[in-house]
Structure 1
Amino acid sequence: MFDPDDLADIRSAKEEWEDETLGPTLDRFGERKETFTTDTDGHEVDRLYTPDDVGERGYDDEFGFPGEEPYTRGVYPTMYRGRLWTMRQYAGMGTAEETNERYRYLIDEGQTGLSMAFDLPTQMGYDSDDGMAAGEVGKSGVAIDSIHDMETVFDGISLDDVSTSMTINAPASILLAMYIAVGDRQGVDREQLRGTIQNDVLKEYVARNTYIYPPEPSMRIITDIFEFCAAEVPNFNTISISGYHIREAGSSAAQEIAFTLGDGIEYVERALDAGLAVDEFAPQLSFFFASYNNIFEEVAKFRAARRMWAKIMEERFDADDPDSKKLKFHTQTAGSTLTAQQIDNNIVRVAYQALAGVLGGTQSLHTNGKDEALALPTEESVRTALRTQQILAHESGAADTIDPLAGSYYVENLTDELEQEAFDILDSVDDRGGMLQAIEDQWVQREVQDVAFERQREIDEGERVIVGVNEYEVDEEAEVDIEEVTEEDQRRQRERLQDVKDERDDGPVEDALAALHDAAEGDDNLMPYIIDAVKAEATTGEIADAMRDVFGEHQGGAAL
């Protein structure tokens, strides 16, 4: 991109600047600290970047234009000048009625996409009346026990008017089936349904542990969803391959890229092994990343990930459709950076993290509420979080030009460094037999844990400043309102579930569950059977159990 002779002149001029201008200032005043590094990767940040740090690389091959390979500068030609990112606030209250109320509130406040948070029993495939659900019903999101709960969540909200993201993994097939069934009841054509299911089980074994089945049947279910949706629900993203939770578990930015794309590679390979053509399902793949406080590192991370995925899909999988090579991603601001101390500081953290996501070219964005270190966010804090996005969109200027940090010698250099480090990690994954094998061997988990341990050590010893926690502390904290799910709320949910079981016709339920059980023993695509069971009013737990009987249940801590 720069002439070699010009670069030589710049190097010479820099050396002269260091000797004549910088040197006397350093001798007299020094700098704030001896070494500056990026947030989690520990890349040393140089004092000054010049064209010499970008080098002689060709513009077209490494940067290109928005909407063209290698998509470093964005996956769409107009980006936010054509359409703003989807403002998709993650929400799910204890009951379906409360969640519907919160969704209507957010839509009225200008939210442009819905995002469902589910309670822990739902995420694990248990009904609210199961003994395993005791004390957890509605605590981390909405309890969805049957199609009636899903209908209540979307009461008065037409599914052809909204895009809905569902943070659900092991039972993703069941919750997607419920969403499709609600759309059918509303009279919405399946091709009009838009949204995303997370559906990323591999990262559950690494970071979250909300799995149900062992890896092999889990991968089968995922590829069944790919196949079914390509034919029936073509505008629904069938997986959100999630680096967010890997980062929240403590990974570095480069590890977040590498392990996320590594999971993506594993899913593509499994789909190809199942007989699917890459360009039939790859356009429906999407990704999910965290955005942390170091703006430049995060922007570089997003740009590097985009460029890497385009190379991987073309060079490794011979994808031909341009949409198969576009890394489209959702971003959530980093929950683990929020502090219970001085919670108003979290508004500032979230704003900077959101800015990084937008400067990095995200397709949709969730901004955390300031009180999420304490409990489910209140309406007031959710509104502030949404207003953060709206101010960013309409007042900051960040959405007015495409990839505005492109050409920054620092950002381009950091993009290259993160890409190279992430590819090196992927090489190590391949050397260990692929992502699933690396997870089975606990190598991925150990790599993440090592970074997390070092980060915590730095905080404990004061090497890393967390404002309001280990520096700039105050003696008193302001009182805050807390959203709580009461035992009465949980009791009402169990009663509603019992009403469903008492009033339904058990014959069709039993027939549908038996058919699903038989399909699981065979090799039919499971999605039509799951949808039939949902429409017969089988519950989340009953459908999950029909597959548990065939597939078994993964035991945490055991070899995968």
Structure 2
Amino acid sequence: MGDKKHTTTSGIEIKELYTSAKPLEEKPGEFPFTRGIQKDMYRGRLWTMRQYAGFSTAEESNKRYHYLLAQGTTGLSVAFDLPTQIGYDSDHEMADGEVGKVGVAIDSLKDIEILFDGIQLKDITTSMTINATASILLAMYIALAKKQGADLKQISGTIQNDILKEYAARGTYIYPPKQSMRLITDIFEFCCQEVPKWNTISISGYHIREAGSSAVQELAFTLANGKTYLKAAIEKGLEINIFAKRLSFFFNCHNNFFEEIAKFRAARRMWAKITKELGASDAKAQMLRFHTQTGGSTLTAQQPLNNVIRVTNQAMAAVLGGTQSLHTNGYDEALSLPTEAAAKIALRTQQIIGFESGVTDTVDPLAGSFFIENLTDEVEAAAWLYIDKIDAMGGSVKAIESDYMQNEIASSAYQYQKEIETGEQVSVGVNKFTQQEEGITEVFNIDDSIRKLQTDKLTDLKSTRDNIAIQKALSLLEVGANGTENLMPLIIDAVEKYATLGEISDVLRKTFGEYR
């Protein structure tokens, strides 16, 4: 045992003993924010406890939202089904077999009205995991807020809107990178003026990690993408001190407790340096604010209740790392979408950490630990090596077009899989401490009849709406897409007249082309 090399998931060697660390000069809430973005962190306010929901129809998801709000959740997160993510209506042949499966099916403003029925958008924050069609879903949300009489200057929430990681890790893109970047910067510009409290992008390392990257790769590729978005917005003439305040990040939290905490601390420090270098002088524009979700790919179908412990461990690391918002996975998610019971225990996990563990009583509880400080420095150094390499290629778009990020992630995933197969990495209940299957009997099933329901709703909608007004709105959008004007007002106009998600996406497909 003695001569075995101990390393983190990113291959950083762990010494047997740490006896010193360089002194921490800085205070929390001050540049470069290693110790947290607020002076008092959770003593002032706990993180937002979000639960991710969205499945089958808007009606069904609405019931789950009311249930979660009654259980004390403080922010809603919407998952969308695959057709919604890639710009097809539920009645399109490409949607067959996928409607309502991995999230809620949204075809028009009608569905958004049902989804948030009985919920005042001015009273909640909503996070939407949507990328290629983010402009359309945001337009629908804004249209509903207007109908409810909410002040657009006050509504708040986040759209993921991070298309670069789709090319690198996840695959739900529609248009080529350049045209996709245009839609994103249009959203930045529009929201800066009209919906100033909205977080216009959640730059996501989560899916990069789920695709098999190491912690250091997740950090480096996410920040490199963030840098690319900053530069694109600056080129559009936006003021960094204003729009950088509306960027947020979305990180994964995996099993290696200390490496994850070091990753979050390093991320804040690195982002502060990146924004400052690009001209940000306002402290709020230099702060990295982030949402964390526990690691979906760490959940096992074997002995599913073990996942409660994994999720608790990961949630605790996210809190000790200083997250602003947290989603905890359900223990049954390796088998299906979470059941109500699993969603409740996931939320209770956060509430117990928040109100019973005592970790929220002081800011940055692990600061000054010889191990944590050294590991934070090493994670940071390893991540800068990647970022420098991507910069040398000309930034993230170039690194993605040349498959650099994809290949790095794939080789890391392969390495991990090999270690699981040889038993070098232990996965409890999978390659060690196994037992005869003890089944979870309750799984969450989505019925295929949903497609018929959504199709009927679409047929009904198309027979009652003003189709001439729709054609006019879509023609104006096409003209706009062929020019250079901001497309958001045109998309909102089309949505308010009840044009469907598929119709709007098709206009843009025609103009922008599709990325293969």
After TM superposition, the score normalised by the length of structure 2 is 0.99
Q: Choose from 257, 278, 281 the match for 2:219.
A: 257
What CA distance in whole angstroms lies between the structure 1 residues aligned with 2:484 and 2:297? 41
Greater shift in the superposed pair: 42-51 or 166-175: 42-51
Alignment of 1:361-372 (within 5 A): 361-372=322-333
Q: Choose from 257, 271, 277 the match for 1:295.
A: 257
SS of the residue aligned with 1:87? strand
Match of 1:49 in 2: 18
1:312 matched to 2:281? The reply is: no
Q: Tell me the amino acid that sits aligned with residue 476 of structure 2.
A: A
Match of 1:283 in 2: 245
Match of 1:240 in 2: 202
Checking the alignment, whether the CA contact within 8 Å between 2:49 and 2:326 is kept in structure 1 is yes
What CA distance in whole angstroms lies between the structure 1 residues aligned with 2:440 and 2:311? 21
Deviations 1:384-415 (A, max 9, x none): 10000000100111111111000000000000
Q: Tell me the amino acid that sits aligned with residue 411 of structure 2.
A: D
Alignment of 1:117-128 (within 5 A): 117-128=79-90
SS of the residue aligned with 1:192? coil
SS of the residue aligned with 1:140? coil
Deviations 1:349-388 (A, max 9, x none): 0000000100000000000001111111100000010000
Q: Tell me the amino acid that sits aligned with residue 34 of structure 1.
A: K
Match of 2:416 in 1: 455
Q: Tell me the amino acid that sits aligned with residue 422 of structure 1.
A: A
What CA distance in whole angstroms lies between the structure 2 residues aligned with 1:235 and 1:272? 19
SS of the residue aligned with 1:375? coil
Greater shift in the superposed pair: 488-497 or 172-181: 488-497
What CA distance in whole angstroms lies between the structure 1 residues aligned with 2:168 and 2:55? 27
1:479 is displaced (CA, Å) by 3.2
1:94 matched to 2:56? The reply is: yes
1:36 matched to 2:36? The reply is: no
Match of 1:506 in 2: 467
Deviations 1:157-184 (A, max 9, x none): 0001100000000000000000000000
Match of 2:349 in 1: 388
1:551 matched to 2:512? The reply is: yes
Deviations 1:508-552 (A, max 9, x none): 111111111110011110000000000000000001111111001
Q: Choose from 162, 169, 173 the match for 2:135.
A: 173
Q: Choose from 534, 541, 548 the match for 2:495.
A: 534
Match of 1:484 in 2: 445
SS of the residue aligned with 1:287? strand
1:501 is displaced (CA, Å) by 1.2
1:136 matched to 2:136? The reply is: no
What CA distance in whole angstroms lies between the structure 2 residues aligned with 1:297 and 1:508? 55
Alignment of 1:61-210 (within 5 A): 64-210=26-172
Match of 1:326 in 2: 287
1:489 is displaced (CA, Å) by 2.2
What CA distance in whole angstroms lies between the structure 1 residues aligned with 2:71 and 2:455? 32
Match of 1:10 in 2: none
Match of 2:299 in 1: 338
SS of the residue aligned with 2:51? strand
Match of 1:446 in 2: 407
Match of 2:389 in 1: 428
Alignment of 1:349-364 (within 5 A): 349-364=310-325
Q: Tell me the amino acid that sits aligned with residue 48 of structure 1.
A: L
* Runs of 4 or more consecutive aligned structure 1 residues displaced over 3 Å after TM superposition: none
What CA distance in whole angstroms lies between the structure 2 residues aligned with 1:365 and 1:259? 21
- For these two proteins, the number of residue pairs brought into alignment is 516
What CA distance in whole angstroms lies between the structure 2 residues aligned with 1:182 and 1:65? 42
What CA distance in whole angstroms lies between the structure 2 residues aligned with 1:119 and 1:311? 37
After TM superposition, the score normalised by the length of structure 1 is 0.91
Q: Tell me the amino acid that sits aligned with residue 423 of structure 2.
A: G
What CA distance in whole angstroms lies between the structure 2 residues aligned with 1:119 and 1:103? 17
Deviations 1:445-488 (A, max 9, x none): 11111111000000011111000000011113223211111122
1:262 is displaced (CA, Å) by 0.3
Structure 1 residue ranges without an equivalent (≥5): 1-29, 556-560
1:405 matched to 2:366? The reply is: yes
SS of the residue aligned with 1:372? coil
What CA distance in whole angstroms lies between the structure 2 residues aligned with 1:106 and 1:300? 32
1:280 is displaced (CA, Å) by 2.4
What CA distance in whole angstroms lies between the structure 1 residues aligned with 2:47 and 2:242? 25
Structure with bigger RCO (C-alpha 8 Å, 6+ apart): 2
1:490 is displaced (CA, Å) by 2.3
Match of 1:17 in 2: none
What CA distance in whole angstroms lies between the structure 2 residues aligned with 1:208 and 1:111? 28
What CA distance in whole angstroms lies between the structure 1 residues aligned with 2:341 and 2:455? 29
Q: Choose from 267, 273, 287 the match for 2:229.
A: 267
SS of the residue aligned with 2:90? coil
Deviations 1:241-286 (A, max 9, x none): 0000001111111111110000001011111111112112111000
SS of the residue aligned with 2:153? helix
Checking the alignment, whether the CA contact within 8 Å between 2:254 and 2:294 is kept in structure 1 is yes
Match of 2:456 in 1: 495
Identity across matched positions, percent: 59
1:517 matched to 2:478? The reply is: yes
SS of the residue aligned with 1:94? coil
Checking the alignment, whether the CA contact within 8 Å between 2:5 and 2:13 is kept in structure 1 is yes
What CA distance in whole angstroms lies between the structure 2 residues aligned with 1:339 and 1:480? 15
What CA distance in whole angstroms lies between the structure 2 residues aligned with 1:232 and 1:460? 53
What CA distance in whole angstroms lies between the structure 2 residues aligned with 1:167 and 1:487? 23
What CA distance in whole angstroms lies between the structure 1 residues aligned with 2:393 and 2:11? 25
Match of 2:174 in 1: 212
1:417 is displaced (CA, Å) by 0.1
What CA distance in whole angstroms lies between the structure 2 residues aligned with 1:398 and 1:151? 40
What CA distance in whole angstroms lies between the structure 1 residues aligned with 2:67 and 2:467? 37
Checking the alignment, whether the CA contact within 8 Å between 2:91 and 2:451 is kept in structure 1 is no
What CA distance in whole angstroms lies between the structure 2 residues aligned with 1:416 and 1:281? 29
Q: Tell me the amino acid that sits aligned with residue 323 of structure 1.
A: K
Deviations 1:115-155 (A, max 9, x none): 00000000001000000000000000000000010011100
Deviations 1:398-445 (A, max 9, x none): 111111000000000000000011011111111212111111110111
1:417 matched to 2:386? The reply is: no
What CA distance in whole angstroms lies between the structure 2 residues aligned with 1:227 and 1:367? 32
What CA distance in whole angstroms lies between the structure 1 residues aligned with 2:439 and 2:168? 37
What CA distance in whole angstroms lies between the structure 1 residues aligned with 2:437 and 2:225? 45
What CA distance in whole angstroms lies between the structure 2 residues aligned with 1:166 and 1:520? 24
SS of the residue aligned with 1:46? coil
Structure of greater Rg: 1
What CA distance in whole angstroms lies between the structure 1 residues aligned with 2:136 and 2:450? 24
Q: Choose from 188, 201, 208 the match for 1:226.
A: 188
